[in-house]
Amino acid sequence: MPCHPARARQLLRRHRARVHRLAPFVIRLVDREATATQRVGLGIDPGSQATGLALYRVEPTDIGAIRHVCFGLELHHRSALIHHRLGQRAAYRRRRRSANLRHRAPRFDNRTRQPGWLAPSLFSRVQHIATWTRRLARWAPVGGVDLELVRFDLQKRESPETTGVEYQHGTRFGFELREYLLQKWGRQCAYCDIENVPLNLDHIVSRSRGGSDRVSNLTLACVPCNQAKGRRPVEEVLAHDPKRLARVLTQAKAPLRDAAAVNSTRWAVKGRLEALGLSVACWSGGRTKWNRARLAVAKSHVADAAVCGDLAGLEGWGPAPLVTIATGRGTHQRTRPDAFGFPRLALPRTKAVHGFLTGDLVCATVPAAKQAGVLTGRVAVRSTGSFRVGTADGIHWTHCRRLQRADGYAYTHGGTPLLPARKDRVSAA
């Protein structure tokens, strides 16, 4: 059960717990076999660069569930790097194909892709999210996962384009609708294409002329255009620009295909989490945005994960999230190539040097040298035995002691604290 850092220190001081892991910091109780636990949930906001994960205790109240955030994790992916590296590998192979080398048997028609195949850069993202969910579910009694899956949820079986809607500002539905329209109209004014200004909902056929509240009659206009148009018919306003008139009228009628809902990565994440045996509830980004505005939470990856789904209030200790960067576990390459792809130098055959791996968390006690003192950090090994610890280079391996094995991630603190100190974070849903 996640506990406050002060409580953890107390348990360790009284020898009632021992350290299980340093990053993230996990302790294991030694004086109890089974304990009563409370409801713990995990919120996930998958992003292309970074994914937010938030672990929270769920307190049921009369007005709804209140979440007490215990732990936040900002997981930075390495999709761009994988894309770059695979491009590089393809280039080396392309050179070898045309170079005057020994005969290479053709191997161009032996590729198959299973249904649900994802590009390696995208698949790594799915794997990282699954890895961290599995770890957190092992350390804490995670009952269910709240996953942000789609961008809009207009809660209509029918197409939103053909359904009459209420669009009161401030309701959850209003947020979903605004997000939908922003996406559909490209976040710009439909009449003058201006971007990055406040946009009003605009009735193409004004309500005083019998225009409906259907999404197919709504567009976005900047404040000057919206006021200039007033109640005049759109044909009159855009009489000077028949091309734009035709575009606005056709685009208004065309429904938006929700790109996020067909985003295969997100569905793959959902599938992987369900395969872990967790119950996964899926929510829309519009709801997250509504929750964030309602509870006055600053936008961050972890905050989005904490307010994803159905909640009445949010409370937290304001912990700075643990920033986790996916670094991988080294390379399969056995040579370093020069600019033309020719081998420049050979890499060692083994990754371990004197039992240390690059990425291990070590504590180095340097007795007398320029860097005399105690250093803690990620180690980069060299076969000469002269290591780099954190930013300090030239640390001899005999001074190092391993604290935690490399697990493919680098850890830093220093993300933005989740919640500014405010007490009025509870409101009726």
Q: Which residues of this protein are in contact with Zn ion, per CB under 5 A? A: 189, 191-192, 222, 225
Least distance (Å) between residue 189 CB and Zn ion: 3
Beta strand 142-150 with 40-45 is parallel
Q: Which is nearer to Zn ion, 237 or 295 (CB)?
A: 237
Q: How many residues does the chain have?
A: 429
Q: Please state the φ and ψ torsions of residue 364, each to the nearest 5 degrees.
A: -110, 125
Closest CA to 203 of 186, 187, 191: 191
The residue whose two tokens read 């161009």 is: 108
The residue whose two tokens read 């390379």 is: 331
Least distance (Å) between residue 193 CB and Zn ion: 7
Least distance (Å) between residue 194 CB and Zn ion: 5
Least distance (Å) between residue 293 CB and Zn ion: 24
Least distance (Å) between residue 212 CB and Zn ion: 22
Q: Which is nearer to Zn ion, 48 or 200 (CB)?
A: 200
Least distance (Å) between residue 197 CB and Zn ion: 8
Q: Cα separation of 190 and 56, whole Å?
A: 42
Q: Which is nearer to Zn ion, 115 or 198 (CB)?
A: 198
Q: Which is nearer to Zn ion, 91 or 192 (CB)?
A: 192
Q: Which is nearer to Zn ion, 219 or 358 (CB)?
A: 219
Beta strand 199-203 with 50-61 is unpaired
Beta strand 313-316 with 50-61 is unpaired
In what order do the strands lie in the sheet containing 361-366? Answer: 392-396, 386-389, 373-380, 361-366, 400-404
Least distance (Å) between residue 225 CB and Zn ion: 3
Least distance (Å) between residue 236 CB and Zn ion: 16
Strand segments, DSSP code E, in 180-284 are: 199-203, 218-222, 279-284
Q: Which is nearer to Zn ion, 42 or 222 (CB)?
A: 222
Q: Is 90 exposed, middle or buried (0-12, 13-18, 19+ CB in 10 A)?
A: exposed
Q: Which is nearer to Zn ion, 195 or 310 (CB)?
A: 195
Q: Which is nearer to Zn ion, 222 or 406 (CB)?
A: 222
Q: Cα separation of 159 and 256, whole Å?
A: 10
Distance of CA 157 to the CA centre of its chain: 28
Cα of first residue to Cα of last residue in the chain, in angstroms, is 27
Q: Cα separation of 21 and 27, whole Å?
A: 7
